Amino acid sequence: MPPASIARVLLDSPLPQLDRLFDYWVPDRWREQAQPGVRVLVPLRSAGRQAKGFIIELADEVGYEGVLSELDEVVSAAPVLDAAVYRLVRRAADRSAGVASDLVRLAVPTRQVRVEKSWLARRAESTDEARARDAARPTAPSITGYAADALVPLLTFDAEPLGGGGASRRIALTGIPSLVEVDQGTWVPAAMRTLAELAAATLAAGRSAIVSVPDYRDLDHLALCLERLVPSGDVARIDATQPGADRYRAFLRGLEPRPVIIIGNRSALLAPAPALGLIAMWDDGDGLHVEPHAPGIHGRDLALLRQEDSGCSLVFAAHARSTEVQRLIELGWLTPVEPTGRWRRRITPTAQQTAAAESAPARIPSTAWKTVSDALASGPVLVQVARPGYAPRIACAECGETARCTACRGPLGIARAGASVSCRWCGSVAAQWSCSTCESTRSRTVGRGSARTADELGRAFPGARVVVSDGATPLQSAPGGRTLVVATRGAEPTVAGGYRAVLLLDGEGMLARESLRVVEDCVRWWCNAAALAAADAPVLLVGVGGAVATALATGHPERVAEAELADRRALRFPPAVRVAAVAGTPDAVARATEAVDELEGVDVLGPIELDEGRVRAIVRLDYARGAEVAARLKAELVRGATAKAPRPAGAAPRRRVPALRVRFDDAEPFDDPGGRPTV
């Protein structure tokens, strides 16, 4: 038998029972092109069709007793599924009972034939010019604001074996200062400059870097910082909003031998990168790092797995520490690092008062009113609110019951001043509403959204320009001068020089949300907004007291993470343990939970009723049980997908809904029962 005549192929299929490698003969005509990583078409006999797939490895021995088919076609010679990316995808799928090809689909963008052809042609040339460019490495920038020796271990790669690197290679950056001026009049968050400098220094050491940020406004700032440090050909931007061809070109850049800096959102962590030296992630507590598609993996976990596999450096940077990072610090897996001469951003708690200064809106205490008023004289002021729109909620004037949409049961609200009442979920206008409890037709507005706050503040501070930035229409930056910027949490724009004051409203309401992560999320939102203030500017948090307020007032947000994690340990909640939500038909869920329940360090909550005919249970597991639990749940998924559940007499013959779904490490099951379940 000639060598390497068998190709092991991963099929492009979401079916769990097909999530393994299939052997195919490589016919002579494809022998040349059939290399690991290429796209192929293969026959799947019983399915009677052709399947797409990727060659994972070549072999010269059959690992299968049956009769092999020949692969039909090598789609292109581009080895798009990189070996390291496949290892990452395989491990990530295995630890979450997921299907590898679901992740491959995120890792390898849709093929763009023209882009790929020109890339292959260019690669074949391999010009002297390219080699000269390789030799001319950019010089390493210093990392502004950090002691020279603090970050040296991150940027030292000499002859280190892959998979090496201790905890000094993995750090959690905290205490990051606020905005910095990178060019005349251009201000960016200091964290973006630090991450850009780290990436550029990694590149200068002859290694690639991946920097993952939650949203495109961070990405723009990061790109801006990198422009000043490295040639544009050394930066590849992977971003969901860019056109397919650009996306594919950026992706292919990571397959070239020359090191590169890859910047992007969560999918950047799945990008190929030669000689990976650094993975950095900004604000890992931001929910945008969670991939919404199956199997719903958090970018943080991808970063941790990839670091372990490659032995590269790892940086989690954030203003507020997540409980997950706190846990890794306590385990000794991450080393906390702070900038030199760290000054602590203090957030001053201010009690809610009913009696405020003359003409002040009732929700702004008089001290805060004075602060805003004074600050406006020297520049822009940020006011953070919880909700967009005019009135976030409508309630019955008689009994106080929340008004809900007749179509979808979503809450009703008012989007703009003078607009009619409409549903916040489905948008349908509620023309004639009557209370479902007491049948009254009189309603009242509850709470103030960004639009109403802006209206009120505009009247209260005549002469100030009022700007609104919310999730639907976020601003990257706002004008300076006498400007009041009203923004919903997470949508705060930057201003040159930083805000002269920051006022955090609605804290009480934000904390009242029924969610495992409320405290953590609120602290993150507050710290992120506070970081947009000028260094000496006051930051006031209205209506929040207790230990959280104390931690923020003394400039120690990490104490909140410590306390939160201690609570979760006591309650056996994530991230002290891992969780897997198991949803589906009652018998499928029962079988799945029975399969794992008897394991040491595993317990099951529920099941509870979801919608008609479906239930959901929560499996809680010690980290050490992860592989075993995921494997058993995967086996149940395979069983559920192949053998159909015995249907009760008289029911519809084929269920449209899958019998079983599993989602790991999602805190949603612990959240507000009024929300819409996603599992």
- Residue 48 or residue 648: which is nearer to DNA going by CB? 48
- Residue 18 or residue 302: which is nearer to DNA going by CB? 18
- Residue 69 or residue 352: which is nearer to DNA going by CB? 69
Stretch that binds DNA, among 47-55, 121-129, 295-303, 579-587 (CB under 7 A): 47-55
Strand order in the sheet with 501-504: 348-350, 539-542, 501-504, 381-385, 483-488, 465-469
CB of 46 to DNA, least distance (A): 3
Q: Is 343 in the site for DNA (CB under 7 A)?
A: no
CB of 151 to DNA, least distance (A): 48
Exposed/middle/buried for residue 52 (C-beta within 10 Å: 0-12, 13-18, 19+): middle
Stretch that binds DNA, among 296-304, 580-588, 593-601, 642-650 (CB under 7 A): 642-650
CB of 645 to DNA, least distance (A): 8
**Which residues contact residue 306 at a Cβ distance below 8 angstroms, ignoring those fewer than 6 apart?**
84, 88, 269, 276, 279, 312
CB of 89 to DNA, least distance (A): 20
CB of 248 to DNA, least distance (A): 27
Structure tokens at 662: 């599993």
In 541-664, alpha helices (H): 546-553, 558-571, 586-597, 626-642
Q: Is 432 in the site for DNA (CB under 7 A)?
A: no
Q: What is the CA radius of gyration of the chain?
A: 27
Q: Out of 68, 357, 518, 610, which residue is the one contacting DNA (CB under 7 A)? A: 68
- Residue 17 or residue 352: which is nearer to DNA going by CB? 17
- Residue 24 or residue 251: which is nearer to DNA going by CB? 24
Going residue by residue from 17 to 46, which x/- string records binding to DNA, judged by CB under 7 A? xx---xxx-----------------xxxxx
Q: Out of 2, 3, 61, 66, which residue is the one contacting DNA (CB under 7 A)? A: 66
Give the span between the Cα atoms of 330 and 609, in whole angstroms: 37
Distance of CA 491 to the CA centre of its chain: 16
Q: Is 646 in the site for DNA (CB under 7 A)?
A: yes
- Residue 18 or residue 88: which is nearer to DNA going by CB? 18
Q: Which residue type does 364 have?
A: I
Rounded (10°) CA dihedral 363, 364, 365, 366: -130
Stretch that binds DNA, among 12-20, 52-60, 98-106, 381-389 (CB under 7 A): 12-20
In 316-445, alpha helices (H): 323-330, 366-376
CB of 44 to DNA, least distance (A): 5
Q: Is 224 in the site for DNA (CB under 7 A)?
A: no
Q: Out of 49, 110, 139, 161, which residue is the one contacting DNA (CB under 7 A)? A: 49
Q: Is 653 in the site for DNA (CB under 7 A)?
A: yes
Exposed/middle/buried for residue 672 (C-beta within 10 Å: 0-12, 13-18, 19+): exposed
Q: Is 587 in the site for DNA (CB under 7 A)?
A: no
Q: Is 184 in the site for DNA (CB under 7 A)?
A: no
CB 510 within 8 A of CB 489: yes
Q: Is 47 in the site for DNA (CB under 7 A)?
A: yes
E-only strand ranges, 246-391? 261-264, 276-282, 313-317, 335-337, 348-350, 381-385
Q: Is 418 in the site for DNA (CB under 7 A)?
A: no
Q: Which residue type does 638 have?
A: V
Give the span between the Cα atoms of 657 and 503, in whole angstroms: 47
3-state SS class at 405: coil
Give the span between the Cα atoms of 267 and 297, in whole angstroms: 11
Give the span between the Cα atoms of 668 and 678, in whole angstroms: 8
Residue whose tokens read 């507020």: 320
Q: What's the CA angle centered on 365, arms 364 and 371, to 5 degrees?
A: 90
Stretch that binds DNA, among 154-162, 241-249, 385-393, 635-643 (CB under 7 A): 635-643
Q: Is 650 in the site for DNA (CB under 7 A)?
A: no
Structure tokens at 590: 């029962």
Stretch that binds DNA, among 15-23, 145-153, 394-402, 662-670 (CB under 7 A): 15-23
- Residue 409 or residue 647: which is nearer to DNA going by CB? 647
Structure tokens at 108: 């390898």
Q: Is 64 in the site for DNA (CB under 7 A)?
A: yes
- Residue 68 or residue 294: which is nearer to DNA going by CB? 68
- Residue 43 or residue 336: which is nearer to DNA going by CB? 43
**What is the DSSP annotation of 53-73?**
EEEEEEESS---SSPPEEP-E
- Residue 15 or residue 605: which is nearer to DNA going by CB? 15
- Residue 45 or residue 114: which is nearer to DNA going by CB? 45
Q: Is 644 in the site for DNA (CB under 7 A)?
A: yes
- Residue 51 or residue 566: which is nearer to DNA going by CB? 51
**Residue ranges binding DNA (CB under 7 A):** 15, 17-18, 22-24, 42-49, 63-64, 66-69, 641-644, 646, 653
